Chains A and B, each alone.
Chain A
Amino acid sequence: MGLLSRLKEIFTGEDKESGKKPVKIPVVDQEKSGPVKPVEETVEKPMVKPADVKTEQKLDGEIKEEKPVVNKITVGHVHMSGCTGCLVSLADNYEGLFKILDDYADLVYCLTLADVRHIPEMDVALVEGSVCLQDECSVREIKETREKAKVVVALGGCAAYGNITRFCRGGQWNQPQHESFVPIGDLIDVDLYIPSCPPGAEAIRNVCVMAYLLLQGTDEQKELAAAYLKPLMDLAKKGTEACGCDLMVDVINQGLCMGCGTCAASCPVRAITIEYGRPNIDREMCIKCGACYAQCPRSFFNFDVMNQFEGIIEAIDGAMGKGGE
């Protein structure tokens, strides 16, 4: 909200606090406010009066009311024990993130981007990182997230499967007792997983758009969004453990692997090679992020959604403001 317009100001270079801006305004508004404004063109004035800042905030408020804020969903980013890589991945949508925050979602909680100290009520909570059992605050916060959010999303391998934090054994300065890190699903019910370390920026974007359609779209859009999100919800029901071994247990052992090589491409640590047309997992290197299994076309494949890939990609591009080439 306020944060967004502030960010936009920074990125579009329209910083109203600087002395240059008042020069521009009189030119545009000359008809209305006639000869009064040109007086402000003197450089000294903004330096004297910090009251300019307040004027800016009033403008901000007006803009807010003009927008159809009612239809937006509220989203929060809850940070547990993680490296902030997932948040960076979200931010890597670049202008797409602004589009999301402009039209689809209000960021109501985010330690790095929103100045809010306590977890508020929200529609969707994106949780990054695993929960440290020895950290009271983390345990309390994850429970609070579940209570206050309608939908809890495990964003990334740590929240979904523990990922690299599974290998912690404590002994770190200055909290040597912090040794047990569990995926959030071990403490609360999670509605949806977005696996991998970190999840692709586009995956987060797609889920955001689909979540918006599910909550605010037409009946047809709701149906599509539900079909799209279902496999990710099924992953959340499946459990809180993932490993490259899933490929062996759930794909090769089940007689489903056809050696397409997707798993090798998806592994963020290159622990997977293809031997004899099948994935070979270096288990010493596997970080348990769940990427390979989630990305495998034989782990899940919903014809309802994927047969319409062209339309869906166009729709998402359109929703993100890339349509009409």
Chain B
Amino acid sequence: MVLGNYKTAVSARAADPEILKYSQDGGIVTQLFAYALEEGIIDGAIVAGPGDEPWKPEPVVATTKEELLAARGTRYTISPNMMLIKEATRSYGLDKVGIVGTPCQMQAVRKAQLYPMAMRKVPDKIALAIGIFCMENFPYQGLETIVEDHCKTKMESAVKMDIGKGKFSVYTERGALSQIPLAATHKYEQPGCHVCLDYVANLADVSTGSVGSPDGWSTVFVRTKKGEDVWTKAINAGYFETKDIADVKPGLDLVTKLATGKIDKNKKTLEERATMGVGKGLRNPYI
């Protein structure tokens, strides 16, 4: 149950070279939304688009492939995508909304569907929720400190950031690569991430992330009927290249290991919170 409920797990990458060019790994999110947009499965998708400052994402409603392409790639800082969930059905008038988000944002989506107290006309309009693997997130200023102070790289000259193999890496436009051990970034994580028990976006329709697959590929979990429907259609239409997850190198064992690690670590945090003071503790959000 560490990896949540899923119907299928595969290693995949987008078939469109244009998407792969600047995508983080396999370009799954961009390609799947592009397909869903083309087929009318969604009218638009809430994605982390480019913001005012370099590497600071801003949630946007993308209704064209161009807007999706502008938003591709991972930025390791907060994009409050849920902010637009109601707006997408109002100002943008979407009937079928796609949304991408971290595991906590998928939790928010599902809560909004089951307890839609202030989410009028939202529950039945979520057409496709894509979750991304997430160990933790940084506040923007935290990311800035990591990149500028630790990696000695200007935010605006970075072209790609990556977390993998125990390292935080920044690639610059002139081809330089700056790496620091991941351990050095832990103190800049946002505290709210330390009570999260979900690594692989258990509540998404489709969840994806690089872990478990070779470089340039992504691991994909198809979790719900909706997700399965869209994924199967996209595969049949030739939008993705796939490999059997059992045949690829790190495979699901590594995903399981990381997911278990996150749950264990954060359960410990929750336990510590319960007795943090003298005879007093902090709140457990899971009741």
Contact = CB atoms under 8 A, between A and B. Distances in A.
Interface of A: 89, 92, 194-196, 198-203, 206, 228, 230-232, 234, 250, 254-262, 264-268, 274, 276-277, 289, 291-292, 294-303, 305-307, 309-310, 312-313
B9 to A, nearest CB: 18
B286 to A, nearest CB: 6
A226 to B, nearest CB: 13
Given A201-B120, A202-B123, A259 B190 contact: yes
B140 A196 contact: no
A258 B86 contact: no
Interface string B134-149: 0001011100000000
B118 interface: yes
Max count, chain A CB within 10 A of own CB: residue among B81, B113, B137, B194: B113
Contacts of A195: 117-118
B287 A234 contact: yes
B86 to A, nearest CB: 5
Given A256-B283, A258-B190, A264-B80, A199 B111 contact: no
A301 B107 contact: yes
Contact of A266 (B78, B118, B124, B140): B118
A208 to B, nearest CB: 13
Contacts of A200: 116-123
Contacts of A296: 108
Contacts of B287: 230-231, 234, 300-302
B77 interface: yes
A295 B283 CA distance: 17
B196 interface: yes
Interface in B190-237: 190-196, 202-203, 224-225
Contact of B192 (A198, A255, A299, A310): A255
Interface of B: 5, 59, 77-78, 80-87, 101-102, 104-105, 107-108, 110-124, 137, 139-141, 190-196, 202-203, 224-225, 273, 282-283, 285-287
Max count, chain B CB within 10 A of own CB: residue among A265, A292, A306: A265
A194 B285 contact: no
Contacts of A89: 120
A233 to B, nearest CB: 11
B140 A277 contact: yes
B83 A203 contact: no
Contacts of B104: 258, 260, 297
B80 A274 contact: yes
Nearest to A267: B118
13 contacts: A199-B117, A200-B119, A202-B123, A254-B282, A258-B102, A258-B104, A258-B137, A259-B78, A260-B104, A261-B105, A265-B119, A277-B139, A303-B286
Max count, chain B CB within 10 A of own CB: residue among A89, A230, A310: A310
B8 to A, nearest CB: 16
A201 B137 CA distance: 34
Contacts of B140: 276-277
A262 B112 CA distance: 9
B207 to A, nearest CB: 14
Nearest to B123: A202
Nearest to A273: B83
Contacts of A228: 114
Given A266-B86, A277-B140, A294 B117 contact: yes
B83 A261 contact: yes
B139 A262 contact: no
Contacts of A231: 115, 287
B260 to A, nearest CB: 17
A295 B80 contact: no
B83 A206 contact: no
Q: Across chains A and B, which 5 residue pairs bring their CB atoms closest together, nearest first?
A: A261-B80, A261-B83, A258-B192, A291-B118, A266-B118
